[in-house]
Amino acid sequence: MKIFRFICVFLCVLTFFAGSLASPAAHAAKLNVRGAILMDLDAVQVIYRQNENKRIPPASLTKIMTMYLVFDAIKAKKISLDTKVRVSRRAARTGGSSMHLRQGDVVTVKQLLYGMAVASGNDACVAVAEHMAGSESRFVALMNKKAKKLKMKNTVFKTCNGLPAKGQYTTASDMLALSRNYIMIHPESLVYHNTKKYSYRRYSLKNNNPLLGKYKGADGLKTGWTIASGYNIVSTARRGGTRLVAVILGAGSNDIRARELRRLMDAGFALQSHKISRISSVL
């Protein structure tokens, strides 16, 4: 009987301490979003996680991969910023967000990069995909090949622009892997992502990143939205020797996305400057 009581007491104590050890991680998940992750890029340290492996449609965050492949091709001298691209009927008729391309337009790769980064142009993605690979489907195959190389184990791309497609998904963790490598390999890309306005013909295209020009150090990356995904964003900012990269997936509105992103970034910079000891204390 004494041995039985001892075992019972031991198990109770073990359960108590296990719960105590688990609670900080559980309480850290306080953002009003479906998934999130935050990294100090310079320290190569993930400092916040919340449902980071939950599969969610990427929406226009897909364009980060599309632009990554474009910059890869430029670096390999397969194309240049001045390469001219003729816009097909299919590209011009692409729905959703647009840089207002017309069939037969001849535009440069540089213009298409601005169209993707600033206006989130779905038409620009199809135009560059067709030019580089011959068709969107072949380009998407290259996107998935690159995702595999980057060890994005929970990502499948079905379109080059993030328009809704069955079986297309990603995670906050995978989007961090993509964005981290993208910024490190192609830092020149931030010139496009940091542009608040761009004009094509008579159209003034506006960047929807809520931090640009409003948050100290913010200089990219990309927003996204579909009904299925909610409001997504990958954002990066540098202050002094610290560059943070944040991923927010599945916010319920544009305002919630902006608010939760600011909270996460503020906490990250406070943590890295030793103003706080842990992020969960301020979220």
179 is catalytic: no
Terminal Cα distance for the chain, rounded: 48
What 3-state class would DSSP assign to 153?
Answer: coil
**Can you tell me the distance from the alpha carbon of 282 to that of 238, in angstroms, rounded to the nearest whole number?**
20
Q: Are 38 and 268 in contact (CB under 8 A)?
A: yes
60 is catalytic: yes
Quick one: tokens of 19? Answer: 């719960």
Catalytic residue of the set 88, 98, 120, 189 = 120
Burial of 270 (0-12, 13-18, 19+ CB in 10 A): middle
281 is catalytic: no
Which DSSP string corresponds to 215-269?
STTEEEEEEEEETTTEEEEEEEEEETTEEEEEEEEEESSHHHHHHHHHHHHHHHH
Return the active site residues: 60, 63, 120
